[in-house]
Each structure stands twice: as structure tokens, then as C-alpha cells.
Chain A
Amino acid sequence: MSCAETEILLHALLDGELDVGHARDVETHLQGCPRCAAQFRAHREMQQAMSAAQLRYTAPMSLRRRIEMTLPSAPQRTSSRRSVLKGFVMGTALSTAMAASLVIAVIRTDPDQRVLGDVVSAHVRSLQGDHLTDVQTSDQHTVKPWFNGKLDIAPPVVDLTAQGFTLLGGRLDYIDGKTVASIVYRRRTHVINLFVTQGAVSEAQGARLETMQGFNIRRWSAQGLEFFAISDINADELQEFADKFEAAFHSSSET
């Protein structure tokens, strides 16, 4: 696929409008073409910024009233609706299946799972193409100021190279409708993304280890921030990473 085609089709990819075959073609091109990949990322960032910004207007109440007044008043007979409900309550095989699918829908939209799903997607994305880091350096004093002004939090950046986790750099990513910091580490050949986002102070939760799509995710919160460390390294090593990060974070914030 050529750059000219990709320049257009990457938008269809962004919008989820491509069939599987063409999506793969575009992705393959993006992996081999830094210029198109940069464009794709820039457009994706802009799309995410737009969706996060709540650009929709709310219709004035006066307009709503004016329109409602032009509609003939609704009669208070709801018989047709009631009979629909009755059919549902009577419990046909269809409605049972429907109820089951509703339950699945509810489970799938559990916000916690959605956040974890976002974490996994962001991690997988970071490993594709060449967008692991926006600022690439092993110097924590370069990574930390890079986040300044890009986020409303100051993510802690600690160098754990001596402890076996090499700092690769930092990146902005997007999780649960928010722009978050990702601090990227390497353990041997494995990449660890540490996502840092503003934590919900009221519901401080203890550290948890979760597994999703084969990735280990360790999440914890500290000092008003929420952390998600994700990698394909084993759970013990991820635990070790989190412990060392926490230890270094605490000692650095105390001095």
C-alpha cells in the first residue's frame, strides 16, 4: 500500500471503518513507514483530544419547551407499551436470552474492566510500530520535566537501572477518557509500561495483581496518584518492579 493511499485510509482506520483485511494492510504500512505512522499518531491524538473535550452543546431549555409545545399533547394511554412489557415479563425463551445478553453487556461495561482493557490496549499499541516513547532517554531528570504542562499531574519518574529495570523514556497515552503519563521501563527484552493517572482519592484501594489477555497488571495508588504497571514478565518480577518503584518513589519524595 502506498503512502498516498495510506494518507487517506488511515482516517478510516482511526474511525473503525475499515474491514479487517484493509485494516491489516494499513497497519502493515504504518509499521514500515515512520512518516505515515507519525501522521497516524498525530491524528489519533487530536481525535482523542476532541473526544475528551466535550464539544457537544446542550440545547437551551427554552428550545426544548418550544419544540415540546409544538407536539400535540401525548395521550395518557400507554396500552401498546404495556403489552410489550408484558410479553417480556412472561418469560419467553427469547426474553431469557435477552436478559442473559443484558447481563453480559453489564459485565462488559464494568468501569474497572474497561480501564484495565484500556491499559492492555495502550500497552499493546505501544509495542506496535515505533511509538513506545515520546521522550527517549534513560535520564530521569529529562523525562520528568518533559511531562510538565502536558498533564495536570506530575508523574514520578525514578531510575531503576541499578535494580535491573532500565528506564527507556516517557510517553503520553490515553486511558479511560483521560490523558495519562506512561513511564517506560525494560526488563531484559520485556517492556513494562507504568501508567500514572490522577487517582480517585476517595476510593483508595490496596495493590492488586490482575491478569488480562495474558498480560500481568499490577495496580496501586499512592499520594493521590494511581499506578498501573503492565508487562508480559511474570507476576513475581512485576511485583518486584512495583516494590522497587515504590521504595524509590518514597525515598525521593521524602528527601
Chain B
Amino acid sequence: MLDRPRRHGLAVAWKAGGGIMAGDGSDAHQDKARRFRDAALPHLNDAYTLARFLLRDAADAEDAVQECYLRALRYFDTFRGTDIKPWLFAILRNICRGEFARRSRVTLAIDDTTDDADDAAPLWQEEQASPETEMVRQWDAETIRRLVAELPDPFREAIVLREINDLSYSEIADVVGVPIGTVMSRLARARSMLRKAWIAEEGLPT
């Protein structure tokens, strides 16, 4: 039914550590840096956006993105795909979820309870909506960003990758490391939760 996931060679070995490039200034080294710059720098705004939503803090997001680009350059040789964005995002996501979160001012409540929680609970059972309530109000960007930021981690991540970073389901599956079916059910939940918050926002005093 769905496209099969594309593999981007995400088995990044950066956890193993290893020396940073020896800075020998060789042609190969320069060539790699240039190729990396051309491929990765155009995605800087996207990467920063993802980090902002995952970490919910501007300064942390900057640090995480810088760390991401350092690691990505170091392991650029292991990149085997055609589209660098999901590969870059997988690194960035690991940084945001991993050691970075631990020393971060913001404590991330990471949901590691696999996906049982995602699938067990039914979607919001919505009442039959009247034409009037079906219409969603057009919130400004700041309001929408806040509503998205309030979603629980796995759902926030899914909806940001899809709606804001414009990744396909298979790319999201690669970045997050879950099957495509899980991506789809998380997105469905994320949108239902967001829609509920979106509508509730209307009742709040402005």
C-alpha cells in the first residue's frame, strides 16, 4: 500500500567516536568539505526549525544544530543516499534526544514505551460537527507554533517532520527509526490532538 522505505544509510557510526579529521588540508579532504557544504548548508533553516520544535529553546537549538553539522561532516563518508536531508535529520534528532537533552535546560520526557501507547488508544471520537465548527480558524504562525510545541514528543516530532519539514512518510520512518505504519498512526493522532487544541484555543480569552 505504501511506498517501501528508502534506505539512506542511516547506520551512522558516530557513537563509536573516532578522531576528527586530521585537518591535513589534502585535496580529498577539501573536496569532501566542499561537497558537504554544498549538500548540507541549504538545509540549515530546516534543521534549525526541527531543533527548535524538538528542544523548544532557541539557544539549545543553535547548539544542537552546530553539533549536528560537525558530526555530519565527520561522518559524511558514510552517507550513501541521494537526499541528505533525512540523513542529516536523523543525526540531529539523535543529538536532540540523546546526550544533548540530558544537559539541556529543557527536560525532554522521551516516550520510550515503544508504540503500544500510540496504537492502543483510539483516535479522538469526534462528535458530528456542524458546518460552523468544522471550519478551523486561521491562527497566526506564533499561535500554531505554540500549539504544536505543546504536543507530546513522538507526535510533535511526526507532525513537524511532515507538515513543516515536508518529509515523506518513508523519510520520516528513516529519521525516527520506526515502521511507516507507525508514522502514519502517529500522524493521525498528532493531527487529532492538534485539532482539539486548535479548537480549544478559540474558547480562550485573547
Interface residues of A (CB under 8 A from B): 7-9, 11-12, 15, 17-19, 22, 34-35, 38-39, 41-43, 45-47, 49-60, 62-64, 66-68, 70-72, 74-75, 133-136, 150, 172, 179
User: In this assembly, does B87 line the interface, its C-beta being within 8 Å of a C-beta of chain A?
Assistant: no
Q: Residues on B close to A: CB < 8 A?
A: 1-3, 23, 25, 27, 29-30, 33-34, 36-37, 41, 44-49, 52, 62, 65-66, 69-70, 73, 123, 126, 128-129, 131-132, 134-141, 144-145, 148, 162-164, 168-169, 184-185, 187-188, 191, 194-195, 198
Distance between A130 CB and nearest chain B CB, rounded to angstroms = 10
Which residue of B70, B148, B168 is within 8 Å of A70 (Cβ)?
B70
* Interface pair B134/A53, CB less than 8 Å apart: no
Evaluate contact between A49 and B136: CB separation under 8 angstroms: yes
- Residues from chain A with Cβ under 8 Å of B132 in the complex: 134
Minimum distance in angstroms from B112 CB to a CB of chain A: 23
A57-B2 in contact (CB<8A): no
Chain B residues in 8 Å Cβ range of A50:
144, 163-164
> Are A17 and B2 in contact, CB atoms less than 8 angstroms apart?
yes
Choose one: B48, B65, B128, B168; the contact of A38 (CB below 8 Å). Answer: B128
Q: Are B139 and A136 in contact (CB under 8 A)?
A: no
Bound-state CA distance A15–B158 (Å) is: 13
Q: A15-B162, A22-B1, A46-B194 are contacts. A8–B188 as well, Cβ < 8 Å?
A: yes
- Bound complex: CA A76 to CA B139 (Å): 47
Within 8 Å CB of A8, what residues of B? 123, 184-185, 188
* Residue contact B135 to A55, C-beta cutoff 8 Å: no
Cβ-defined partner of B163 (8 Å) among A51, A62, A71? A51
- Known contacts A51-B163, A59-B48: A74-B33 contact under CB 8 Å: yes
Indicate if the CB atoms of B46 and A56 lie closer than 8 Å: yes
Asked, given contacts A7-B188, A11-B191, A53-B144, whether A58 binds B45 with beta carbons under 8 Å apart, the answer is yes
Q: Which residue of B lies closest to A54 (CB)?
A: B141
A9 and B137 CA atoms in complex are apart in Å by: 24
Chain B, Cβ-Cβ closest to A60: B62
Q: Across the interface, which residues of B come within 8 angstroms of A53, CB to CB?
A: 138-141, 144
Chain B residues with Cβ under 8 A from A68's Cβ? 37, 41
Query: A67 to B41, Cβ gap below 8 A?
Result: yes
* 9 pairs of A and B residues whose beta carbons are closest in the complex: A59-B48, A53-B141, A72-B33, A57-B49, A45-B136, A59-B44, A11-B188, A67-B69, A63-B62
Complex CA–CA separation, A64 to B46 (angstroms): 12
Q: Give CA–CA (A136, B134) in the complex, Å.
A: 14
Nearest Cβ on chain A to B205's Cβ, whole angstroms: 17
Residues A12 and B169 in contact, CB atoms below 8 Å apart: yes
